[in-house]
Amino acid sequence: MPSQQTLLAFAVVSVGIMLVPGPSNLFLLAHGIGHGRRSALAAAGGIEAAAALRVLLTAAGLSALLASSALAFEFVRWGGVAYLVYLGVKAFRSRRSGRDRASGATPVPLARSFRKGLVVGLGNPKMVIFYLAFLPQFVDPSRGSEAGQILLLGSVLWAIGAIWDVAFAAASGSIGGWVTRKSRFQAAQPRLEGVCYLGLAGWAAVTGARHAR
């Protein structure tokens, strides 16, 4: 197992990485503005489920297989981009009734928010590359099972990410609540949500293309 010094260094670096805004933050912001705090927290749960699955896949070596296959990488990348574009277009085309505007953010089933977060989390191939490039630097073959070390380090990274995402989701819900109290912004909520989704789709497409080169 990794030494205490290694775990501490890994945790410090992980915190620094999580504090840098990324695609999950944009997604949670969009969801919090459009649907409120509870939906944003459910979406965060989906993102964390995807992150936990990614840790398991990394430990099992499947992430390396995905990264070594250009076809698989491109399939996952463009699948994620297409889903984000779909969410953005759907938000732009949505129409809110007067009752919805009066009541604030549009509620959606929490299970649907969870599924959206799960798909967005799984459709981020950059995180696959991140796990492959970042985790191995802290794995020492002389200290036991590499898979066990990856699971431990991945669990630390997952816990830090979960705390950050849940906090961000809660804050996003507050931002959404503030927006809904401003009548002039209420009609613009779907467009704001759509811009966030489409911006995230563009971000994923551009960063994925850079990795491909």
Does residue 101 register a pLDDT over 50? Answer: no
Model confidence pLDDT, tens digit, residues 195-204: 877 876 777 6
Whether pLDDT at 119 is above 80? yes
- Choose among 190, 207, 167: nearest CA to 25: 167
Residue-level pLDDT at 168: 85
Collect all residues with Cβ–Cβ distance below 8 Å to 113 and sequence separation of at least 6: 31, 35, 39, 40, 42, 43, 46
Domain ranges in the chain are: 30-212
Q: Which residues have a Cβ under 8 Å from the Cβ of 100 and sit 6 or more positions away?
A: 106
Helix/strand/coil for 30: helix
* CA–CA gap between residue 95 and residue 187 (Å, rounded): 9
pLDDT for 98: 43
The pLDDT of residue 47 is 92
Q: Which residue has the tokens 């992150």?
A: 51
Average predicted confidence (pLDDT) for the chain? 75
**Mean predicted confidence (pLDDT) in 145-157:** 85
Please write the tens of the pLDDT for every residue from 30-48: 788 778 888 889 999 999 9
Taking CA atoms, 8 is separated from 3, 4, 13, 89, 145, in Å, by 9, 6, 9, 43, 19
pTM confidence score = 0.70
* Residue 121 parent element (H or E): helix 110-122
Report residue 100's pLDDT band, with 50, 70 and 90 as the boundaries.
Answer: very low
